């Protein structure tokens, strides 16, 4: 398959189950809402070393938030529900509660309950006050600046982690430009995040290592500087590879983001130095979700999934 001169390789991205939730964080100004969102989702690129994967799903206008203030929607994913229950209150208490003017609301109604103020309300040292509105419990915690308002808990979803595709280009600048175009387009797809820095990964990994203490190491088959030293998947003209990793609330959401991202890369095309699109998989042994690139690009992914 060739799109605008770019080869879509006959392969698939292999992804795995994750458990996720959504937080709606608001503040007095868009800048403070973004500050809270960025800090809360920091150091959350991969469960391999961070314990969770998180990112800003989208920026919210005042008319789209529970309290009529500017906000951000955050998605946080973990490998199991027990881990999610631990990591969400920690990030809430350290990064949202501490940020000036913020409030935090549930972004998922269904599923198992993830504690929010249910856990961190004790910081108020007995001065916390709860109130039930429309069947939901909110907490008010006094702080030096005023008060922090927060939902008692939020719901959760069975999500998908590790969707991905690789951009093979002639130079580093061209690979990065194509990746930036993909990230911008994929940011319009609801229900997904791109957890790595700026949505792009330069240090893609493979399962296993020559060192016993590591269970993942550099994806040497896609490292241009190792061509000739190891079995390579790169044609001679490829000088740089960038990867985009996708987590989402459903298979459909990740598939749609994959389609949108690859379309954006192919719009850059061979004139922009893009040679091919590939994907990372481990022979089907890592996870049950397989995103077949040619099927996605020929048939389309349908509507992105959402969360009630």
Asked whether 77 and 161 are in contact (CB, 8 A), the reply is yes
Whether the per-residue pLDDT at 122 is higher than 80: the answer is: yes
Fold of 2-15+161-299: Alpha-Beta Plaits (3.30.70)
Asked whether 143 and 97 are in contact (CB, 8 A), the reply is yes
Whether the per-residue pLDDT at 110 is higher than 50: the answer is: yes
The CA-atom distances, in angstroms, between 31 and each of 17, 38, 60, 69, 288 are: 33, 10, 12, 12, 39
Q: What is the mean pLDDT of the chain?
A: 94
The reply to whether domains 2-15+161-299 and 17-157 share a CATH topology is yes
* Exposed e or buried b per residue across 53-76, where buried means at least 16 C-beta atoms within 10 angstroms of its C-beta: bbbbbbebeeeebbeebbbbbbbb
Whether the per-residue pLDDT at 50 is higher than 80: the answer is: yes
User: Mean pLDDT throughout 53-78?
Assistant: 98
- Residue ranges of the domains in the chain? 2-15+161-299, 17-157
> Residue 286: its pLDDT value, please?
79
* The model's pTM: 0.93
Residues belonging to the chain: 308
Least confident stretch, 10-19, 58-67, 243-252, 284-293: 284-293
Higher pLDDT pick, 234 / 208: 234
Whether the per-residue pLDDT at 212 is higher than 70: the answer is: yes
Q: What is the DSSP letter of 5?
A: T
Whether the per-residue pLDDT at 302 is higher than 60: the answer is: no
> Residue 144: its pLDDT value, please?
98
Q: How far apart are CA 266 and CA 145, in angstroms?
A: 49
Whether the per-residue pLDDT at 234 is higher than 90: the answer is: yes
> Residue 300: its pLDDT value, please?
63
User: Mean pLDDT throughout 86-114?
Assistant: 98
Q: State which CATH number among 3.40.50.1860, 3.90.1150.10, 3.30.70.520, 1.25.40.10 fits the domain covering 17-157.
A: 3.30.70.520
User: Mean pLDDT throughout 238-242?
Assistant: 98
> Residue 215: its pLDDT value, please?
84
Q: What is the pLDDT of residues 35-49, one digit of tens each?
A: 999 999 999 999 988
Higher pLDDT pick, 21 / 284: 21
Tokens read off for 108: 């998922």
> Residue 303: its pLDDT value, please?
36
User: Mean pLDDT throughout 192-197?
Assistant: 98
> Residue 301: its pLDDT value, please?
41
Q: How far apart are CA 265 and CA 274, in angstroms?
A: 8
Question: Minimal CA–CA distance to 165: which of 80, 237, 262?
Answer: 262
- Which residue is associated with the tokens 């229950």? 85
Whether the per-residue pLDDT at 111 is higher than 60: the answer is: yes
Q: How far apart are CA 222 and CA 227, in angstroms?
A: 8
């Amino acid at each position: 398959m060739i799109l605008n001169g770019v080869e879509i390789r006959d392969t698939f991205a292999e992804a795995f189950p994750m458990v996720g939730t959504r937080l709606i964080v608001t503040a007095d100004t868009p800048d403070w809402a973004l500050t809270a969102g960025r800090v809360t989702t920091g150091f959350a690129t991969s469960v391999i070393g961070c314990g969770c994967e998180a990112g800003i799903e989208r920026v919210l206008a005042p008319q789209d938030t529970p309290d009529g203030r500017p906000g951000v929607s955050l998605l946080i994913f973990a490998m199991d529900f027990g881990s999610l229950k631990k990591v969400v209150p920690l990030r809430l208490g350290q990064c949202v509660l501490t940020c000036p003017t913020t409030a935090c609301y549930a972004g998922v109604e269904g599923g198992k309950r993830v504690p929010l103020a249910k856990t961190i309300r004790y910081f108020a040292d007995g001065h916390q006050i709860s109130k039930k509105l429309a069947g939901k419990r909110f907490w008010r915690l006094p702080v030096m600046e005023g008060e922090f308002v927060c939902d008692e808990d939020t719901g959760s979803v069975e999500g998908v982690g590790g969707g991905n595709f690789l951009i093979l280009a002639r130079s580093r600048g061209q690979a990065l430009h194509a990746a930036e175009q993909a990230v911008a387009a994929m940011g319009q797809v609801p229900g997904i995040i791109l957890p790595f820095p700026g949505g792009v990964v330069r240090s893609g990994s493979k399962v296993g290592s020559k060192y016993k203490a590591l269970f993942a190491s550099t994806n040497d088959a896609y490292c241009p500087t190792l061509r000739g030293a190891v079995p390579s998947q790169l044609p001679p003209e490829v000088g740089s590879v960038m990867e985009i990793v996708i987590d989402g609330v459903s298979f459909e959401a990740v598939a749609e983001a994959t389609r949108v991202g690859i379309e954006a890369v192919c719009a850059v095309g061979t004139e922009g130095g893009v040679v091919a699109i590939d994907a990372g998989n481990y022979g089907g042994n890592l996870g049950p979700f397989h995103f077949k690139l040619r099927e996605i690009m020929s048939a389309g992914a349908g509507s992105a999934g959402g969360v009630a």
